[in-house]
Amino acid sequence: MSFSAELSPWLGRLTMRSRLDDAEQHAILQLPIHTIHVRANADFVRLDESVDHVSVVAEGIVGRFDQTAEGTRQITALHLPGDAADLHSVALPRARSALQALTPATILRVSHASLRSAMAQYPAITEAFWRDGIVDQAVQSQWMVNLGRRDAKARIAHLLCEVACRTGAVADNHAEFSLPVTQQHLSEVTGLTAVHVNRTLRALREENLIHAEGRQLTILDFASLARVADFTAGYLQMAVAFGEPERIVALPQGEPS
Amino acid sequence: MSFSAELSPWLGRLTMRSRLDDAEQHAILQLPIHTIHVRANADFVRLDESVDHVSVVAEGIVGRFDQTAEGTRQITALHLPGDAADLHSVALPRARSALQALTPATILRVSHASLRSAMAQYPAITEAFWRDGIVDQAVQSQWMVNLGRRDAKARIAHLLCEVACRTGAVADNHAEFSLPVTQQHLSEVTGLTAVHVNRTLRALREENLIHAEGRQLTILDFASLARVADFTAGYLQMAVAFGEPERIVALPQGEPS
DNA sequence: CGCATATTTGATAGATTTCAATTTATGTGG
DNA sequence: CCACATAAATTGAAATCTATCAAATATGCG
């Protein structure tokens, strides 16, 4: 249990979507954490488990899973460093999905108890948590469009565009970022077969839209890839770039929302 | 603007997922509403529109839509009478999806202003709203499994099982309920083609799993249909039947969550 | 260096879409 | 209440996309 500033990437994510004053931000940073390391492919939250803490991703990539009775899996969300993977568990502690590290990962556990006391003291924090989930839900909606209405090439392209934006790697029609996940994992995100993911990636490579070097992925022409993907970044609510952060509860100074 | 008890189905939905005391329940029922009637296939909330009220469904079926650039649509959520279709708009007023009536519908508009003052007075109400969205998100996750990992027959069967459960129509391995939506709408939910929905429904009929009489749908053998669908009702959080309603904020009497 | 895991490729089967009619409901005005 | 106009459901045949199965490389790691 420590009281460091390791939660600052998460705070950055929250303030990207909600406006928090100094005291509220301080309350977040002060939250006690318990750091754990998770091996690749290890579940660290299991289905129907009752959890008493939230998992904030510090390093690595985390997937939220659901599965069919036969065991084929669907990844319903991808969590990158700075994301809280199951903030909703504060309000509904029984996990309806499993969380798995797709790569070796470092997780910061924040107890529900401490989060609840922060929420009780600062209503704007409750609101920020709620809003965080809403944005996640908007991402899920886009994924549903992906799964239901786009072909394999667009699905993969869309995913790559999204991850590039979420990692902040896009600049000047170009993006380079690490995506150390398996093609099997990509298939579980996109509702395809690992084989088909492989072929689709090759097609994108042959069109000179992307370049894959090991786990390093380069988007050579972001605009064209976004066109193939039918991607627009608005739904990601990267507030710094796309609009005003939100707040309902009045700021202490009396500033309106 | 009236102050009647028309919100009581919505209150029922909320208390199915969260525990609210008398004062809190009263605060919900007291909310001023503005009733509107919407024709079938009419959008009543448009994409990127900034809304200042929540739409509670009183009658009819409402779909939440997203679409690709070419205009093919994906329904990302279905809202039945008693559901608030965009409760999240209280926290994030810009609509990231459109809302459309799939049938003639009656909508109760509840202003954000009045909701916010209820939230300010009763933190448990904020919490209940948040939790409501979390359950919606769990439903979306199941839909993602549907879209990504199940074949046409299972997708349709799963949807029918879900709607049957949500309308409370299931009893004794049998369910009869009205589903006055078009096969085109079903295809937009399931990520299929209207033609394929038609063929799949016929297949389910030929297996004597369902019976369709106009817009009245009968599930002849719920257990078998659920097996085909790989359906289990847990995620719907129909708390009355499946577990304790939740609450974080202490009850006034001091009762713990 | 060698095992285990991941990627890549080929050939084939299967599911779903697409396109184009046709039939059947549904609603409306006379 | 009927006739008409429109929307919805249904069917067939062909084209496409994606999955499946099986094997052959690569790659990473101890």
Spatial distance from the CA of B85 to the C1' of D15 (Å): 40
Spatial distance from the CA of A257 to the C1' of D17 (Å): 49
So what's the pLDDT on residue A4?
A: 62
Q: Would you say A75 and A124 are in contact if contact means Cβ atoms under 8 Å apart?
A: no
- The answer to whether the predicted template modeling score (pTM) of the entire model surpasses 0.95 is no
Q: Would you say A68 and B149 are in contact if contact means Cβ atoms under 8 Å apart?
A: yes
Contact (CB<8Å) B133/A133: yes
**Across chain B, what does the average pLDDT equal?**
91
Chain A residues with beta carbon closer than 8 angstroms to that of B120? 123, 249
So what's the pLDDT on residue B236?
A: 82
Say which nucleotide is closest to residue A199, CA to C1' distance.
C8
**What residues contact B241, with CB distance under 8 A and at least 6 apart?**
B233
Q: Give the mutation candidate from A52, A64, A112, A149 for the B interface (greatest B CB count, under 10 A).
A: A149
Q: For residue B13, what are the CA distances in angstroms to A33, A102, A226, B16, B136?
A: 35, 36, 40, 5, 12
On the CB side of A1, how many CA atoms lie within 13 Å of its CA?
Answer: 6
Q: Which residue of B has its CA nearest to A90?
A: B248
Calculate mean pLDDT across residues B13-42. 94
Say which nucleotide is closest to residue B202, CA to C1' distance.
D10
Spatial distance from the CA of B201 to the C1' of C23 (Å): 18
Contact (CB<8Å) A123/B120: yes
Structure tokens at A41: 């492919």
Contact (CB<8Å) B133/A129: no
Chain B residues with beta carbon closer than 8 angstroms to that of A133? 130, 133-134, 137
Structure tokens at A181: 């996940």
Structure tokens at A114: 């401490």
pLDDT exceeds 80 at position B198: yes
Q: ∠A39-A45-A49 over CA atoms, to 5°?
A: 150
Spatial distance from the CA of B40 to the C1' of C9 (Å): 51
Q: How far is B136 from chain A (nearest CA, A)?
A: 9
So what's the pLDDT on residue B214?
A: 76
B-contacting residues in A 151-180 (Cβ below 8 Å): none
Confidence of residue B240 (pLDDT cuts 50, 70, 90): very low
* B73 close to A (CB below 8 A): yes
Contact (CB<8Å) B143/A138: no
Q: Which residue of B has its CA nearest to A121?
A: B123
So what's the pLDDT on residue B129?
A: 97
**What residues contact A230, with CB distance under 8 A and at least 6 apart?**
A150, A154, A158, B68, B69, B70
Say which nucleotide is closest to residue B185, CA to C1' distance.
D8
Say which nucleotide is closest to residue B194, CA to C1' distance.
D9
pLDDT exceeds 80 at position B184: yes
Q: Which residue of B has its CA nearest to A148?
A: B191
So what's the pLDDT on residue A235?
A: 84
So what's the pLDDT on residue B2?
A: 47
- To which residue do tokens 């249990």 refer? A1
A-contacting residues in B 227-246 (Cβ below 8 Å): 230, 234-235, 237, 246
Contact (CB<8Å) B123/A127: no
Q: Which residue of B has its CA nearest to A138?
A: B96
Contact (CB<8Å) B144/A142: no
Q: Is A55 exposed, middle or buried (0-12, 13-18, 19+ CB in 10 A)?
A: buried
Q: Give per-10-residue mean pLDDT for chain A (257 aa).
A: 77 93 96 95 93 96 95 96 97 93 96 96 95 96 97 98 94 93 97 97 96 89 96 77 63 53
